[in-house]
Chains A and B, each alone.
Chain A
Amino acid sequence: MPSVPDIRLENLTVGYEGKAVVSDIDVVLPGGRISVILGGSGSGKSTLLRHILRLEEPIAGTVCFGDHDICRLSKRDMHCIKQRIGVLFQDGALLGSLTLADNVALPLREHTRLSRKRIQEIVEGKLALVGLEKFLDYYPNELSGGMRKRAGLARAMVMDPAILFCDEPTSGLDPVTAADLDQLLLEMHRTFGMGMVVVSHDLANMRAIADFVMVLGDGRVLFQGTRQELESVDDPYLRRFLDRKAEERQGPRVGETAVDASVMKVDCSRYWSMGK
């Protein structure tokens, strides 16, 4: 099994154009484990992931893979690190002009000198792992959302990465498909011994796979620790999040006298009666 480095985020502030989205992150994502970055919509999870992958430059602080501060690595060294990681994007991010087999084969063709036959074998093997061995010649637009994610997972796995990053792997999937994908991630983790960093807002996904959890909210890290520790926290925001309770809203509510619902109502009855 490959040695999997910790990912250390030190005094990290991430954001765009100098505006911080999440500040003062001091977290160690343990190597060889499944770490889940959890948070509500707009909490900065995907922004943080983009900074960890060095798709963006941080406003302050460092991101270290083991002993390597990736913010200071040369392009060449970063290139080497990128060959040791795999990334599953939110909708798979498969190249639309390539078939599934070509998409999965792409990193092998670009980075190795393997023969066509060997590449074909590896591609078929990886696609079989995710249950897509019968769809080799399909194009991404011919697949469902879940299949695209699984294909994206096969591509992310094709170079046998030490760390796999997944951005919202279960978003937009029905509960059964989402559970299947969780199971697949767990099997991959157990079989190949890789570390995983999963960005998610899906509690079921977190509860199914997480060893280590980091919760983002309010522009900062609200929690870091094991899944069990998270389940027993008392913090009101985290409790509401974990128990899926709605936040107390200020101002009038729908149905209360302060809001005249008739003002907002649109009379659509004439559309329904059309054609009768």
Chain B
Amino acid sequence: MSQDKSTLSTPVAALGRVTLAVLARLGDMFLFFLESLALIFSSPSQFPKAVRQTYFIGVGSVLLILLIGLFTGMVMGLQTYYALSKFGSEGFLGAAVALAVVRELGPVLAAIMVTGRAGSSMTAEIGVMRISDQVDALEVMGINPVSYLVSPKLAACLVSFPILTTFFDLIGIVGGYVTGVALMGGNAGVYISRVQDSIEWGDVWVGYVKALVFGAIVCTVCCYKGYYTHLQQDLAGPEGVSSSTTQAVVLSSVLILLSDYLLTSIFL
């Protein structure tokens, strides 16, 4: 009888174990984030490191963001123009593109692009340092590895993500203009005035709040995965680093979309 009971409860117990493990991991990541955040201003030597990371994460991603933003805006312009023209409402194209890009697409797509470009490299860099004893070397030199490796990256992400989101928003609106006005023949003045009328400061700030949250998520997840790459079960060495990198990109992207939904429901 007791055997039957345990058999029946096994899937429930397994689900409970997985849930607890996921919650524990997320809690661990949150503590990792708090430690990194607290150590950003731990010493003056953090500033040049943060500047270098900002160059890598921010400046290095500008071209990618401009390209993705332009094409996203162009596709938005094309699809929305087609849909609006069915109702004779082409004049609202500017408002539709601007609101979609500034509120949603800008922060989300910019964050996902930076995850692919810079987040994966953060995980790989820290992961390789971990498996080649470089993290241990920092620790025995009395240098806090989180402070040395993670905090400057977090500072760079918190600075870069809103700026990259701004670039994405601007170039996305330009992309909508290119297709909606230059290619499809819409009215330029109407497009620009609709953009100006529809966007309020509240929309812009929501976009920035999202960008900050996504920056924190990407940096925390990617650095955490690299930092603890040696604790992965059954995977060691380069295979472990590659697995950590994949997990970091996937988890970051999922958390970006999840938190986007949560933030949108809060701010809408």
Contact = CB atoms under 8 A, between A and B. Distances in A.
B43 interface: yes
Of A83, A85, A87, A165, the most chain B CB neighbours within 10 A belong to A87
A82 B136 CA distance: 12
Given A79-B142, A110-B141, A111-B142, A89 B136 contact: yes
Contacts of A110: 43, 45, 141-143, 148
B53 to A, nearest CB: 12
B139 A55 contact: yes
B140 to A, nearest CB: 4
Interface residues of B, number: 17
A85 B140 contact: yes
Interface of A is mostly: mixed
Interface in B126-154: 128-129, 132-134, 136-143, 148
Contacts of B128: 96
Nearest to B148: A110
Interface string A222-234: 0000000000000
Contacts of A60: none
B140 A82 contact: yes
A244 to B, nearest CB: 29
A53 interface: yes
Interface in A196-255: none
A107 B136 contact: no
Given A79-B142, A82-B140, A89 B133 contact: yes
A80 B142 CA distance: 8
Given A109-B45, A110-B43, A110-B45, A93 B134 contact: yes
A186 interface: no
B137 A89 contact: yes
B134 A96 contact: yes
A147 interface: no
A83 B142 contact: yes
A241 to B, nearest CB: 27
Contact of A87 (B125, B129, B137): B137
A55 to B, nearest CB: 6
Interface in B20-69: 43, 45
A91 B133 contact: yes
A95 B129 contact: yes
10 contacts: A55-B136, A82-B142, A87-B140, A89-B133, A93-B132, A94-B134, A94-B137, A97-B125, A110-B45, A111-B143
Interface of A: 50, 53, 55, 79-80, 82-83, 85, 87, 89-91, 93-97, 106-107, 109-111, 155, 165
